Chain A
């Protein structure tokens, strides 16, 4: 099992103290919460000390202790893993108190200070985790955090926050959008693989094909994604006009079809690149020996090149999967649905919390896919090499 990459000691100390400084700035320098008369207007800012009282100073102390070098990684990890949900709970509690006796339209929104401190605390936790021993210790903070947040959610501790209110108001739609986003991303990844893998094999066999395909796939990356979405709609309309039977087969000019085509066009490059370099990753002496012992090309591919290229393939798959999840957001613009639709609805209404309701799950999905496939990559790397 490959050890997690860890920053150099000097750089690590800078990052650690930088993270602690950001957390303190978030607590004391920026608004923690804001109160607005309704969901569409900007609210009046409220600092952490005013919103949380004594708890704000406790959180500041915790950030400083977690960054201090004298504290062992394990202790710091435990402090952060418990501190982050505690901060979340305290914030939810403070929001509920602020809403007491006010009209129902009043919203309490999370401020920049909260997000900055949360990000800084997660960075600190990641730094401490990277230094910890491998094995179960490397994943328990994430699991504990997820469990604690789920508990806070279940007990309604966060219900007073505007973000949660936005979600509760359209929970079914958001849940459906999340599922659709996943399906869209997976379908786009599958579509990309369906042509990137054969093209990769072709490019591996022929240098001329590699130059041509590489040029085409790189060309796609240069086109802004939005422009490609826009371009596909008239193209697909023209195609459907010329061949109406395609419509019967389920193809539409707007909706999932242009989204899938565009997202897969972008995800094809990392996939294709990893197929080409993964097939070439095997030791040339091993390939020469295989040929000399009487293996035919297909067997050399399946028995030598593919197993030895697995870590490279897994890396390409990870990059492409994360790219698909991110780009599928733009599908919201062409009627493909998914979390992008929620984000763009929020943008149209200038409702920042609604944007977050769409965006936060996208971030979580991307991080989750990245972590899952990173694990796969590490497993692929343990065999051979």
Chain B
């Protein structure tokens, strides 16, 4: 869906991106992680031509973006940023309807679409459509920004630290919203974040950037499988490299078919190994009974299996 082919970018004499080769498949939710100044936002902005490559080619839907009209290209790609940038003199509904209006949609169609999007970002009940951005809370503004980015139903969504400016609780809610929207719509999402926890939780694929180079890419599990280089380990593992890996694996992956002892505490089979470990510590038990969603016994999982047998 999106491909960077040997892309380099220079700003005022210094090289921001070095010969980047990288692909994002259709329907992926790809997180770009890396320290500040590593070039993640620049990589994102190449996609809708807000930045032009000094050399190399950026392809979107198979076509070189340099050959497309920038305004048309941008209207076909959703874009949400940390500062949101809602238009202060326009209502929430007008803000959301911006790109459809640029595309020349009928008024009735825009109004219907705005309703739909307010429902999608769960603001339909708040009666916000006629309000101005100054009247919104930070979390509401971010949701409106997300709705505005999705307005013309773009197949690609670019997000630059979209939840950076909200409190942790609103942030968790917005993350869940994004995961739900991604699952429901199957859009290709490119997400810049400096929070590795957010990246591991949301992304189907990750790219780690350092000093303008993509130093590692792959699924979360691939990146958390030893051995990786120290920088990647430090960046996405933090101090809990092993625990984060457990957090990505289901209980089933370390489960035994044999029945648990009768007094073993239970855990749902949909839980992660990290949750299983947490449950064991909490219950002071080295073995758990695994139950299906309906409550039927499925098998058991032991501390030893969690630690040694996970894939």
Chain A residues packing against B (C-beta within 8 Å): 283, 285-296, 299, 303-304, 307-308, 383-385
What's the least CB distance linking A291 to chain B, in Å?
7
Please pick, from B83, B99, B132, the residue contacting A294 in the complex, using a CB distance under 8 A.
B99
Tell me if B284 is interfacial: C-beta within 8 Å of chain A: no
Do residues B102 and A295 form an inter-chain contact, with CB atoms below 8 A? yes
Do residues B102 and A293 form an inter-chain contact, with CB atoms below 8 A? yes
Partner-binding segment picked from B71-79, B188-196, B206-214, B237-245 = B71-79
A295 to B145, CA, bound (A): 16
Do residues A294 and B88 form an inter-chain contact, with CB atoms below 8 A? no
Residues of B within 8 A of A299 (CB): 102
Given contacts A295-B71, A295-B102, A296-B71, contact A290 B87 (CB under 8 A): yes
* Beta-carbon nearest neighbor of B99 in chain A: A293
Do residues A293 and B75 form an inter-chain contact, with CB atoms below 8 A? yes
Do residues B88 and A292 form an inter-chain contact, with CB atoms below 8 A? no
State which residues 97-135 of B face A: CB under 8 Å. Answer: 98-99, 102, 132, 134
Given contacts A292-B48, A294-B72, contact A308 B99 (CB under 8 A): no
Residues of B within 8 A of A294 (CB): 70-76, 99, 102
What's the least CB distance linking B72 to chain A, in Å?
7
A384 to B98, CA, bound (A): 16
* Beta-carbon nearest neighbor of B132 in chain A: A384
What's the least CB distance linking A70 to chain B, in Å?
40
Do residues B81 and A286 form an inter-chain contact, with CB atoms below 8 A? no
Residues of A within 8 A of B102 (CB): 293-295, 299
Given contacts A283-B85, A294-B99, A384-B89, contact A289 B79 (CB under 8 A): yes
Tell me if B248 is interfacial: C-beta within 8 Å of chain A: no
Please pick, from B50, B70, B81, B88, the residue contacting A283 in the complex, using a CB distance under 8 A.
B88
Please pick, from A286, A288, A293, A303, the residue contacting B88 in the complex, using a CB distance under 8 A.
A286
Please pick, from B81, B85, B88, the residue contacting A384 in the complex, using a CB distance under 8 A.
B88
What's the least CB distance linking B9 to chain A, in Å?
17
Please pick, from A285, A288, A295, A308, the residue contacting B89 in the complex, using a CB distance under 8 A.
A308
Task: Name the residue among A286, A287, A294, A307 with the largest chain B CB count within 10 angstroms.
Answer: A294
A286 to B81, CA, bound (A): 11
Do residues B86 and A292 form an inter-chain contact, with CB atoms below 8 A? no
Count B interface residues, CB 8 Å.
25
Residues of B within 8 A of A293 (CB): 74-75, 79, 98-99, 102, 148
What's the least CB distance linking A283 to chain B, in Å?
7
Given contacts A286-B85, A286-B86, contact A291 B50 (CB under 8 A): yes
Please pick, from A289, A295, A383, the residue contacting B86 in the complex, using a CB distance under 8 A.
A289
- Per-position binary interface string of chain B over residues 132-149, scored 1 when its CB falls under 8 Å from any chain A CB and 0 otherwise: 101000000000010010
What's the least CB distance linking B133 to chain A, in Å?
9
Chain B residues packing against A (C-beta within 8 Å): 48, 50, 70-76, 79, 81, 83-89, 98-99, 102, 132, 134, 145, 148
Task: Name the residue among B48, B73, B99, B102 with the largest chain A CB count within 10 angstroms.
Answer: B102
Q: Which 5 A-B pairs have the closest CB atoms?
A: A289-B85, A384-B89, A294-B75, A294-B74, A285-B85
A296 to B75, CA, bound (A): 11
Do residues B89 and A292 form an inter-chain contact, with CB atoms below 8 A? no
Other A-B pairs, 11, CB within 8 Å; known A289-B81, A291-B50, A292-B81: A285-B85, A287-B85, A288-B81, A289-B86, A290-B85, A292-B50, A292-B74, A294-B71, A294-B76, A299-B102, A385-B88
Residues of B within 8 A of A303 (CB): 87
Residues of B within 8 A of A292 (CB): 48, 50, 74, 79, 81
A327 to B76, CA, bound (A): 54
A299 to B74, CA, bound (A): 14
A384 to B87, CA, bound (A): 8
* Beta-carbon nearest neighbor of A292 in chain B: B79
A339 to B89, CA, bound (A): 42
* Beta-carbon nearest neighbor of A296 in chain B: B71
Residues of B within 8 A of A287 (CB): 85
Task: Name the residue among A287, A290, A293, A295 with the largest chain B CB count within 10 angstroms.
Answer: A293
What's the least CB distance linking B44 to chain A, in Å?
10
Residues of A within 8 A of B81 (CB): 285, 288-289, 292
What's the least CB distance linking A1 to chain B, in Å?
16
A38 to B275, CA, bound (A): 106
A383 to B90, CA, bound (A): 9
Residues of B within 8 A of A288 (CB): 81, 83, 85
Do residues A285 and B84 form an inter-chain contact, with CB atoms below 8 A? yes
Residues of B within 8 A of A304 (CB): 87
Residues of A within 8 A of B134 (CB): 385
A290 to B83, CA, bound (A): 13
Residues of B within 8 A of A295 (CB): 71, 102
What's the least CB distance linking B302 to chain A, in Å?
52
Residues of A within 8 A of B99 (CB): 293-294
Task: Name the residue among B48, B79, B88, B148 with the largest chain A CB count within 10 angstroms.
Answer: B88
Task: Name the residue among A283, A307, A308 with the largest chain B CB count within 10 angstroms.
Answer: A283
What's the least CB distance linking A384 to chain B, in Å?
3
Write 6 A-B pairs (CB below 8 A) sorted by A numbering. A288-B81, A289-B84, A289-B85, A293-B98, A308-B89, A385-B89
A289 to B102, CA, bound (A): 14
A156 to B102, CA, bound (A): 64
Task: Name the residue among A286, A292, A308, A384 with the largest chain B CB count within 10 angstroms.
Answer: A292
Please pick, from B48, B73, B79, B89, the residue contacting A307 in the complex, using a CB distance under 8 A.
B89
* Beta-carbon nearest neighbor of A304 in chain B: B87
What's the least CB distance linking A224 to chain B, in Å?
42
What's the least CB distance linking A27 to chain B, in Å?
51
Residues of B within 8 A of A286 (CB): 85-88
Given contacts A295-B102, A308-B88, contact A285 B83 (CB under 8 A): yes
* Beta-carbon nearest neighbor of B70 in chain A: A294
Residues of A within 8 A of B86 (CB): 286, 289
